[in-house]
Amino acid sequence: MSNIGKAFENGKAFVAFITCGDPDLETTAAVVREAVKNGADLIELGIPFSDPTAEGPIIQGANLRALSGGVTTDKIFAFVRELRKDVKVPMVFMTYANVVFSYGTERFICTCRDIEIDGLILPDLPFEEKEEFLPICHKYGVDLVSLIAPTSENRIAMIAKEAEGFVYIVSSLGVTGTRSEIKTDLASIVKVIRENTDTPCAIGFGISTPEQAKKMAEISDGAIVGSAIIKLLEKYGKDAPKYVGEYVKSMKDALR
């Protein structure tokens, strides 16, 4: 089992998404530590990109704030190296294929291993094109996390069979962002995944309330939350860590 599996060993997992460098890396570090202290089982760190196609306006805003603040991939690598001195939960990067390509794929993934990043999520990478990254990920022991969306349909079994780390289930069509309700038939998607892999699966996109998190975790192995956390960062800036901690605690309590 990969290190990511540890996030799912103690009941339902709460996965917190945080954009690196919004509003600055010091705040990101404090937010990560508060999230972990309050029960986050896995941290998904967003590396900002100027054209984040899977993101709604909230996370797009975070990307732009981070980039205008001068965040670079190298600064994020140095930041994670420092964070790893005391943060022991599994951590993954979420970014776009272009970020990895422009840095140099092997150099990027090799550095992930060196700074103890456990996995990589590339939402713009089609399953059929993952061979561009997969052999290098395997070489350095970094899981390439697969996404399964409501449109995956007859490809769900195929993607699940080759899944590693965890399966990221996209709850609904469209971009990230909070939703008042999630209408997708997620139970049937999870059923197909379970028939084809033992890899844990967690649901993301649109989850913001403890009630939604509880509902998603009843179907799957955990809930992923991003936009609701980013909203707190947008509202409170450098004072956000305390509020994020309280929010994560309320979400984790709902999963218990």
Sheet with strand 13-19: strands edge to edge: 143-145, 119-121, 91-94, 42-46, 13-19, 222-225, 201-204, 167-170, 147-148
SS3 169: strand
Confidence (pTM): 0.94
> Is it the case that residue 181 has pLDDT exceeding 70?
no
Report the distance separating Cα 104 and Cα 237, nearest Å: 32
What's the mean per-residue pLDDT of the chain?
93
- Amino acid identity, position 117: I
Model pLDDT for residues 197-223, shown as the tens digit of each residue = 999 999 998 899 999 999 999 999 999
* Complete domains list, the chain, with CATH: 3-147+222-251 (3.20.20.70)
- Compute the half-sphere exposure of residue 149: CA atoms within 13 Å on the CB side of its CA: 13
Instruction: Mark out the alpha helices in the chain (DSSP H runs).
Output: 25-37, 57-68, 73-83, 97-103, 105-114, 134-140, 156-161, 186-196, 210-219, 227-236, 240-255
Say which residues have a Cβ less than 8 Å from residue 83's Cβ, sequence separation at least 6: 29, 32, 33, 91
Contact 173, 151 (CB under 8 A): yes
Going by pLDDT thresholds of 50, 70 and 90, the confidence category of residue 177 is very low
Model pLDDT for residues 152-170, shown as the tens digit of each residue = 888 999 999 999 999 999 9
Alpha carbon 60 to its chain centroid, in Å, reads 15
Model pLDDT for residues 110-129, shown as the tens digit of each residue = 999 999 999 999 999 999 99
